[in-house]
Structure 1
Amino acid sequence: MALWRIRATVDDRPGYLSVLTASLALRSVNILAVHVHTTEAGAVDDFLVDAPDTMSESDMIAAVERGRGRDVFVARAEAQGLADQPTRALALAGRLVHDPDLLGEALVTLLDADGVRWHPEPVAGPGFDGRRMTLLDPVGGAYELLRRAPEFTPAEYARAQALVEVSAAALRQHAEHATLLLPDGSELLVRPAGPDDADGVLGLHRRASVASLQRRYLGSAPAEPRLRRLLEPAGGVTVLAVDLHTDRVVAMASLLAEGELGEVALLVEDGWQRRGVGTALLRRLLAYAERVGFAAVVAHTSADNAGMLRTLRRLGAGRTDRDGPMTSVTLPVARALRATGPAAPATRR
């Protein structure tokens, strides 16, 4: 027995697909997988089949045509073709999450294309025409994919476009990773937090002094479930500073949404305080607040937290209200950004 890939157009009418499968069955062809692409010309059916070794390409085409299939394409398939298209696409998406630069290679694999060309400027709008497909590159330019046969279908274009979007999201995520060089020569990785950072954030809280936790939370540290929710706050963001030598989380800063306002909070490990870490994280949060359109940012801290209050003044603190042991500082976003000037020097990873 041998594996074959078959593609044919069938009238999109009741019973026509069964006629085709019956014609294949009469030749002892076992259908292993089928996928239907809806097009204006009819239903384009993709089959992966197991056929007798004695069947030739012409025999296979004749069997499909007797089953009322037209525009027939047949080719020998490899064992890896046993993976269905959704599984194949998911595997490629997983690779792009870790390395978005593999987009061109992933598109060729997904579409069984004969080749791919990258153009610095799009040669045409995104779309497909027969055996040519054009997809915009998330970083600029466009990919042009070519295939001798069969022609591309709308379903294939949709899958390819989905991979492009995965690559774009991964590129945006990678761009948000920056190396922060402190005045004393230390290097920290600054990046958005995620669910996988729970252990690192819990470790930061265990190492923090009682005084630091008191200033951050105006009381004791929250329970683990709340800390986990802080990693991906709804409508906001949490950024971490990670020691590149030990891979330990040494600081975290959160921006929480409160209507048109954003509330910022900061915790820096005691040994890393007064070294510019907190200022760098708050600047990133202020830039994020501008992008999402917050009217202002508010910070609540203890009245005796001189370091935090000094940092907020440097960042353009506006209104300051004191309520017993707590001080609330408001930073209008536009004013805060003017006061900070350029963001701290950083190198994209």
Structure 2
Amino acid sequence: MLWRVRTTLADRPGILAEIALACGRAGVNILGLQVFPTTPLVTDELVVSGPDGWTDVMIAALFADAGGSDVSATRVSDASLTDAPTRYLRGVHEVLEEGRDVVEVLHELLETEPPDVADYAGHDVLALTRRDGSELTVSRAVPFTAVERARAQALLSLVSDAGVDVPLITPSTRGAVPVVREAGLADIEAVSALHERCSVDTLYDRYQVPLKMPMTTRMARRLVVPDHGMALVVQVGTDVVGHGVLELVDDAWTFQLIVEDAWQQQGLGTRLMRYAAGRAKQAGAARLTFVTAGSNDRLLRAVGRAGFVARVERHDGNVHITVPLRDVRAVAAG
């Protein structure tokens, strides 16, 4: 059994030796240590393993008797042994490259699942600021340290600068954020509604022909369950605000996408592209071609923001942007 122990100690020489000696006598092994300096005290966080039969209360009492104060002991998994800065860097990668929800990633990094705390004194609240000035709050029974607050804000600021956490329309009070996922038959109505909210120009860029609305059920069904590929959507709350079709056409993988006007220039097209590239790579594709109308410069910019090296060709008034998938990480079906 592993525990994370957080304790406040006097900032004096030898105090850690006293803690280590007490743990050694009790058969508790120290596997990890982080120091969060404060003045005039210091907060230490240790990951420890204990003998069979030990409880959270017993672990907390051991550290309190050895000179610690404000001791909290919570059960944790082996993931807590991973270096903290490495975990945060991986978190940034997951948000930017895999399209994960930044709120979900922060909850994992800060381990906010309700712990069995030996001496519960109420939840601490961590308030982080988004790019648009709105707040993202995270709460936890174990108080946050200044270092954790700084790390979390740095991660949020980094992904905010990349434009993946704040859409043009402010998320609802329920904290809805864009999520990229595969589509299914349950999305027929939402995909139809997305197209009805799009302008004539946006629809033309996607389909290269004038599109009659409202959309027929047959067409909507083909858009969410294509014959030779898969459909992807960007969902915010209960609304689908972006859609794309990844298809195998004449032995070549192609991707065509649409993002409704109010959500354009917020990085959603780039996230759809990255996800589509990962799914195409998983399906065995060596390259992927994005197809759009010849006048759609936004798609070219989105390809650049996604970090792809592309070959651009024109076919019958349309633009084909082909990118190699050699350095793209495959994404399994979710």
Task: Using structure 1 for the length normalisation, give the TM-score.
Answer: 0.48
Task: Determine which structure has more spread, i.e. the larger CA radius of gyration.
Answer: 1
